[in-house]
A and B are shown apart, each in its own frame.
Chain A
Amino acid sequence: MISAVVIGATAIAITRRNMVHAVVYLIVSYFGTAMLFYLFGAPLLAALEIIIYAGAIMVLFLFVVMMIKVESPEEVMFPLSQWLPAAVFGLIYLAAAVVMIVETPGMEVSLRMLTATPGQFALYVFEHHWFSIEVISILLLLALIGALCLGIGKGARCEGGRADSVSTPPEAASAAAEEEI
């Protein structure tokens, strides 16, 4: 049922012409996903998804969308020549997926309920994958630097009173990145 919610929300999200609406629907979809995570026994991840994904990333999207003043929906929606190959391949993929899922042995096994508490989860992560954590943090640092460079490099050449609005996205990006750490 929750999965129905997720799927539904995603489907609606991708068909919105207004980008703000699309982002909002996607936030709904992320909430649903978080519920799924919780049901699959990963409460920490559920919380993290909501905080980071729905909270920071989508907000970032909103900032950018609202900053770029798109005067009119100039987008050409779903030209057929683009839409048809994608739909065709999508259907092929789904058909293959269904066949694969049905054919693979062990798919009918019902998942047992098991919950990993945050403490257990954190212990596991830092015990086994500590190196990846370090790498990820460096990655985030790089992203921060990159976003700043892109933003400031552009802003320095802009004249006048647009400087503060330009620097907002890199700031929002750096804010999102710092929350990670």
Chain B
Amino acid sequence: MFFHSVLSPQSSVLLLIPATMPPLVAFLVTFVFTRRQPRLSAGLSIGSIAVSLVCSLVLLGLNFKMTGPVQYSVRLLASSGLDIPFGFLLDQLNLLMIVVVSSICFLVQVYSLGYMAGDPGFSRYYAFMSLFAWAMMNLTLSPTLLQLYIFWELVGLSSYLLIGFWYEKFSATQAGKKAFVMTRAGDAAFFIGFLLVFLHTGNLSIPDLNGPAVSAAFPPTVLTLSALLIFGGIVGKSAQFPLLTWLPDAMEGPTPVSALLHSATMVAAGVYLFARLFPFFSMSPAAMEVFLAIGTISMFLAATMAIVSRDIKKVWAFSTISQLGFMIMALGAGGYFAGVFHLTAHAGFKSLLFLCSGVFIHRYGTNDVYELGRLGARRMIVPTVTIILAAAALSGFWPLSGYYSKEAVMGSLASLPNPAWLAAGLVGVFLTAYYSFRLIFILVLPRAVGPPAGLPAASGGGRKTDERHPNSEIRHLSMAWPLIVLTAITVMLGFLRNPLKDFLQVGITAGGAAEGGPFEWFHVAAPGLAVAGAVLAWVEFGRRGAKQIGFVERVPPLYRLFAERWYIDHFYRLLVNVVVDKGISYLCYQNDNKVIDRSIDELGEGTIEGGRIVAFLQSGMIQYRLLVIFAVMVLLSIYFFFPVF
């Protein structure tokens, strides 16, 4: 084809710049200049991300047959013995990621034209979206851990800005702060981890880390420790246990933000890092075990929380945590392709789920599923159909993309010696199908009788607009066709499985897990469980005459446990109150007052007192003069007498 004939490193480099820089330009211009012109801001932003998308696609096409990673870098930080390049790294994983990131960014920004229309912060929204796009693109292209960390932090920053976008709402600012602080805690661990790496190997570049020379440079315990610490960053960013409570609260932001950041890309940055350092992590089997465990716990906890939630966005948020747990399980078990493929597929259908929910929320102004159902959500055709398809993909129904990705994950879990992991995975599949179809049925087949009393109601959609939107047809169109595009991707992606697998597996030599034979027992069990979950949901929620009470709700203690998110939030609140406020702040405050201030005061007072004493001698009394004469005489005699001085 035409592209292949132009294949050369120079053209890749030339394409990298327009692939990554336009969103930055858009951010700066929008933030500074075009605040008052919403259409211009939106146009700039969408235009820049479109450019990025096109360049990413071209890059993917150009380098589809590449054999090894390519790096273009410029030396930025250089001192004696320390050499950290800045630039771009291109390999298969990167290319896939930038296509995913830019395409979803583009679709979400188009969607936002409709969703955020009329909002006073329209330009600010697009500015932050561009900032996020730029940071995420560069994060995926970083060649060194340091550059990755810089962009990691930038992504966290834009997440904070976007979650707290409607800053007049107190809960939104609180949520933004919570998100930032929790991811920051993870980032601190990440920083220490890569400092450890740096101390031992002297450089941070990722290709070197993945190479075979690294294991020689580390003692094994330090390797495990640094792997665990870097994973701490992943725990924070991807909302795994124990730092998982920020993601449900992050739903305070606008729905497109949730679609972009908190389902498809930002939280996927953690999984991306895992995949990026996959050979490095594989060198430490103990660490991989820990990762596996954490992934499993997160998946399970989040799935239970999703079962009892009433807020449509929170259900998908918990689902995101759960699916990320799946990805980490897969990667921890050694299934590189499984994890990455699930990441890609999940990006597709999860953002689709959020966007559909966004349409409902935008139209009816409430987040509560029961309300939405009763208000007649199913009358909107396009969102309803797409949400059903997306939920099916999430549950893993054939032939949608979710089926293939779940298969891959199960396969990698089955290759582990301990069957408990596979069992946990299967339970997860069941729960996933259950909660997604529960939501679908409540939404689509509402009952006149409301939910049982005792369930806490979900808060409103977070918007203050009550009026009817003018030009609603255009708006709905702009919101509609991203949904269609995403649905198409979701359906089609499954068939791209094998080419993708070959593409990705080229560079990865370590940790290859077999995916089992073509027809193992779990190939039947997994979709069977998915169907079983859906059937259970149908029995409880969908059937004519069903009372829409889930089996969990019949067991109040269990229900309360799940609804209170396993009391993790309470634990954190307690921790902050007791340890931080009463302990550390108290100590610091006392130290500040008593030690630091006091010593300065004493210095001053001492000086005054000393002056007072000395001034005594100048009072004019001749006797003091005499005394001074005498004293001086004595001192002089001592001085002259003793040859020591």
A and B touching (C-beta < 8 Å)?
yes
Q: Is the CB of A89 within 8 A of B637?
A: no
Q: Is the CB of A86 within 8 A of B627?
A: yes
Q: Is the CB of A92 within 8 A of B616?
A: no
**Chain B residues numbered 615-645 whose CB sits less than 8 Å from any CB in chain A:** 616, 623, 627, 630-631, 634, 637-638, 641
Q: How far is the CB of B640 from chain A (nearest CB, A)?
A: 10
* A52–B616 alpha-carbon span in the complex (Å): 39
Give which listed residue, B616, B623, B630, B637, contacts A96 with CB less than 8 A: B637
* A82–B641 alpha-carbon span in the complex (Å): 28
Q: What are the residues of chain B within 8 A of A82 when measuring CB–CB?
A: 623
Q: Is the CB of B616 within 8 A of A89?
A: no
Q: What are the residues of chain B within 8 A of A92 when measuring CB–CB?
A: 631, 634
Q: What are the residues of chain A within 8 A of B627 when measuring CB–CB?
A: 85-86, 89
Q: Is the CB of B638 within 8 A of A96?
A: yes
Report if A81 contacts B (CB, 8 A).
yes
Q: Is the CB of A81 within 8 A of B634?
A: no
Q: Is the CB of B637 within 8 A of A81?
A: no
Report if A100 contacts B (CB, 8 A).
yes
Q: Is the CB of A89 within 8 A of B634?
A: yes
Q: What are the residues of chain B within 8 A of A81 when measuring CB–CB?
A: 616
Q: How far is the CB of B520 from chain A (nearest CB, A)?
A: 98
Instruction: Take A89-B630, A93-B634 as given contacts and tell me if A100 and B641 are in contact as well, using a CB distance cutoff of 8 Å.
Output: yes
* A139–B634 alpha-carbon span in the complex (Å): 30
12 A-B contact pairs sorted by A residue (CB < 8 Å): A81-B616, A85-B627, A86-B627, A89-B627, A89-B630, A89-B634, A92-B634, A93-B630, A96-B634, A96-B637, A96-B638, A100-B641
* A131–B384 alpha-carbon span in the complex (Å): 134
Q: What are the residues of chain A within 8 A of B638 when measuring CB–CB?
A: 96
* A40–B454 alpha-carbon span in the complex (Å): 118
Across the interface, name the chain B residue whose C-beta is closest to A90.
B630
CB within 8 Å of B: which residues of A?
81-82, 85-86, 89, 92-93, 96, 100
Q: What are the residues of chain B within 8 A of A89 when measuring CB–CB?
A: 627, 630-631, 634
**Chain B residues numbered 267-291 whose CB sits less than 8 Å from any CB in chain A:** none
Across the interface, name the chain A residue whose C-beta is closest to B630.
A89
Known: A85-B627, A93-B630. 16 other contacts (CB 8 A): A81-B616, A82-B623, A86-B627, A89-B627, A89-B630, A89-B631, A89-B634, A92-B631, A92-B634, A93-B634, A96-B634, A96-B637, A96-B638, A96-B641, A100-B637, A100-B641
Q: What are the residues of chain A within 8 A of B623 when measuring CB–CB?
A: 82
* A86–B637 alpha-carbon span in the complex (Å): 17
Q: What are the residues of chain B within 8 A of A85 when measuring CB–CB?
A: 627
**Chain B residues numbered 594-631 whose CB sits less than 8 Å from any CB in chain A:** 616, 623, 627, 630-631
Q: What are the residues of chain B within 8 A of A86 when measuring CB–CB?
A: 627
Q: What are the residues of chain A within 8 A of B641 when measuring CB–CB?
A: 96, 100
Q: What 4 A-B pairs come out closest when comparing CB atoms?
A: A93-B634, A89-B631, A96-B638, A100-B641
Q: What are the residues of chain A within 8 A of B630 when measuring CB–CB?
A: 89, 93
Across the interface, name the chain B residue whose C-beta is closest to A100.
B641
Q: What are the residues of chain A within 8 A of B637 when measuring CB–CB?
A: 96, 100
* A106–B612 alpha-carbon span in the complex (Å): 46
Q: How far is the CB of B397 from chain A (nearest CB, A)?
A: 99
* A130–B641 alpha-carbon span in the complex (Å): 34
* A89–B617 alpha-carbon span in the complex (Å): 14
Q: How far is the CB of B7 from chain A (nearest CB, A)?
A: 96
Q: What are the residues of chain A within 8 A of B634 when measuring CB–CB?
A: 89, 92-93, 96
* A92–B627 alpha-carbon span in the complex (Å): 13
Across the interface, name the chain A residue whose C-beta is closest to B617.
A85
Q: How far is the CB of A111 from chain B (nearest CB, A)?
A: 22
Give per-residue flags for B509-525: 1 if the beta carbon is below 8 A from chain A beta carbons, else 0: 00000000000000000
Q: How far is the CB of B543 from chain A (nearest CB, A)?
A: 102
* A82–B630 alpha-carbon span in the complex (Å): 14
* A99–B211 alpha-carbon span in the complex (Å): 80
Q: How far is the CB of A96 from chain B (nearest CB, A)?
A: 5
* A82–B634 alpha-carbon span in the complex (Å): 18
* A100–B644 alpha-carbon span in the complex (Å): 13
Across the interface, name the chain A residue whose C-beta is closest to B621.
A82
Q: How far is the CB of A163 from chain B (nearest CB, A)?
A: 31
* A93–B627 alpha-carbon span in the complex (Å): 12
Q: How far is the CB of B241 from chain A (nearest CB, A)?
A: 72
